[in-house]
């Protein structure tokens, strides 16, 4: 069998398995860190370095980190507990509402803005995103006018430049949907987090379900449709009125500057 590498940018490295199978993988510079298993490290030269440490709670089974890899949150994927880490040391415990927590992934992400690390999560309600200063725990989005929209936030992700925050969550039906927020706006007026701004056809249970999302850049997000089929009459009317849009079992690129889909792919086989 040929071992020729097909692309100049591709390099294959065999890495030691280590003492434990990896439970999570987060980049830290040019190495992969398994924060769930205490901070085990796989280096790109093939070496494995054990952290020789555990958190004392086996239900912590997922992790997310900031782009530098210095900050991380280890949490229950579908539970309520989490711990915030900096350079592998515990900063504080975090928690979320137990309401249907076993049905959707823990909403949490870390990102830097204006020289400080911020933590976005839902510590008091499934429908209320809060943003904290990760260093000192100060809440930056509390206020007397905040509300709890009936939306189950999940899979929080900040755009590459830190401009926008998305939540790939769901509403009662249950029905998946994607909503986005301007970070600068929510830090100025926290009630902006209580609005559910998505695509024009979002949360319409007769049309394609928005089951996943990922940033392409600060302004464009690619959204994935579930296999759930559409109502034929509603779909035909949506095609007439809106043209390009997300279809079931497919991907489409949505531009938040124009609030329009710019690219749509044919349904996956």
Q: How many domains does the chain have?
A: 1
- The pLDDT assigned to 2 comes to 41
- The pLDDT assigned to 6 comes to 58
Residue 87, in any domain of the structure: yes
Whole-model pTM: value is 0.91
- The pLDDT assigned to 16 comes to 67
pLDDT digit string, tens, across residues 2-57: 445 556 676 776 766 666 788 999 999 999 999 999 999 999 888 899 999 999 99
Exposure b/e, 137-167, CB count within 10 A at least 16 = b? eeebbeeeebeebebbbbbbbbbeebbbbbb
Residue 113, in any domain of the structure: yes
Look over the chain and give the mean of its residue pLDDT values, rounded to a whole number: 93
Residue 45, in any domain of the structure: no
Residue 212, in any domain of the structure: no
- The pLDDT assigned to 265 comes to 78
- The pLDDT assigned to 135 comes to 97
State the chain's maximal CA–CA distance in angstroms. Answer: 67
**pLDDT under 50: residue ranges of the chain:** 1-3
Residue 167, in any domain of the structure: yes
Q: How far apart are CA 97 and CA 94, in angstroms?
A: 11
Domain, as residue range, for 99? 82-197
CB 18 within 8 A of CB 25: no
């Amino acid at each position: 069998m040929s071992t020729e590498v097909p692309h100049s940018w591709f390099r294959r490295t065999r890495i030691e398995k280590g003492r434990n199978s990896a439970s999570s993988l987060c980049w830290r510079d040019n190495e992969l860190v398994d924060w769930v298993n205490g901070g085990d490290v796989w280096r790109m030269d093939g070496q494995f370095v054990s952290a020789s440490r555990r958190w004392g709670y086996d239900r912590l089974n997922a992790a997310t980190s900031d782009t530098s890899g210095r900050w991380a949150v280890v949490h229950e994927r579908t539970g309520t507990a989490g711990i915030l880490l900096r350079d592998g040391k515990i900063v504080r415990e975090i928690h979320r509402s137990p309401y249907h927590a076993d049905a959707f992934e823990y909403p949490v992400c870390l990102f830097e803005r204006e020289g400080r690390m911020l933590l976005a999560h839902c510590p008091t309600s499934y429908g209320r995103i809060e943003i904290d200063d990760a260093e000192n725990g100060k809440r930056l989005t509390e206020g007397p006018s905040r509300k709890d929209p009936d939306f189950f936030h999940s899979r929080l992700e900040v755009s590459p430049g830190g401009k926008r925050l998305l939540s790939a969550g769901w509403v009662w039906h249950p029905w998946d949907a994607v909503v986005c927020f301007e970070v600068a706006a929510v830090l100025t007026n926290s009630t902006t987090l209580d609005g559910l701004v998505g695509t024009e056809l979002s949360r319409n249970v007769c049309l394609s379900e928005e089951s996943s999302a990922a940033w392409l850049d600060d302004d464009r997000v690619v959204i994935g449709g579930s296999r759930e089929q559409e109502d034929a009459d509603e779909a035909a009317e949506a095609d007439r009125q809106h043209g390009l849009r997300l279809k079931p079992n497919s991907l489409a690129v949505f531009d938040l500057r124009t609030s329009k889909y710019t690219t749509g792919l044919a349904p996956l086989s």
